[in-house]
A and B are shown apart, each in its own frame.
Chain A
Amino acid sequence: ETGVTQTPRHLVMGMTNKKSLKCEQHLGHNAMYWYKQSAKKPLELMFVYSLEERVENNSVPSRFSPECPNSSHLFLHLHTLQPEDSALYLCASSQDKLDRRFYEQYFGPGTRLTVT
């Protein structure tokens, strides 16, 4: 059971396709995150959104384009991907608090992306 959902769960796309990943959180949080998890690398933070504003972009190639239309939804638009972009893409959310003792991130189940 999770308050963060991701669709689709699996996606196969060619290098010339355009697709989008969707994340929705039902927890009333105000910050959202995209992570990339691949077999040979540790969990990589891609983007951070706070109150629908992008506040961190960790040198992610422009073929990945995030969008956060409101605090409950986060998208990752994909175009002209490379085979090395095949990975599990995880979305997470949190509630920003000045008292960091209460800070936690909640993750969705991920989208398994295969680029052919």
Chain B
Amino acid sequence: GNSVTQMEGPVTLSEEAFLTINCTYTATGYPSLFWYVQYPGEGLQLLLKATKADDKGSNKGFEATYRKETTSFHLEKGSVQVSDSAVYFCALSEEVNYGGATNKLIFGTGTLLAVQP
């Protein structure tokens, strides 16, 4: 079945450092790919997404490019801030097999990012 693999954390960086969180996937077909972020005590928020090969999703200084040849969707940010400290989840979409048009998300295990001042 489809799956998502993320680098294990925690990732600890100093403020203004460059961030990369690796994400690779296994999927049949052409799923959409997502990054979600979870701040302490909150639910998940959609950070960015890409729906086809070579698409780049971007939001709040974060970027990720849908690489079909390497089945990857790595998250990057040029200069992290303390406020970026959170858990980041990579996910892909998959159809629910019941004859309708519903999809679901397959999540990676999450990567904790801790940014120090």
Contact = CB atoms under 8 A, between A and B. Distances in A.
Contacts of B36: 107
B43 A31 contact: no
B43 A90 contact: yes
Contacts of B44: 90, 92, 107
Interface in B72-106: 89, 93, 95-96, 98, 100-105
Contacts of B49: 104
A86 B51 CA distance: 35
A43 B89 contact: yes
Contact of A108 (B43, B93, B100, B107): B43
Contacts of B93: 100, 103
A33 B96 CA distance: 12
A56 interface: yes
Interface string A66-106: 00000000000000000000000010101011101101111
Given A90-B43, A108-B43, A109-B42, A103 B89 contact: no
A107 B107 contact: no
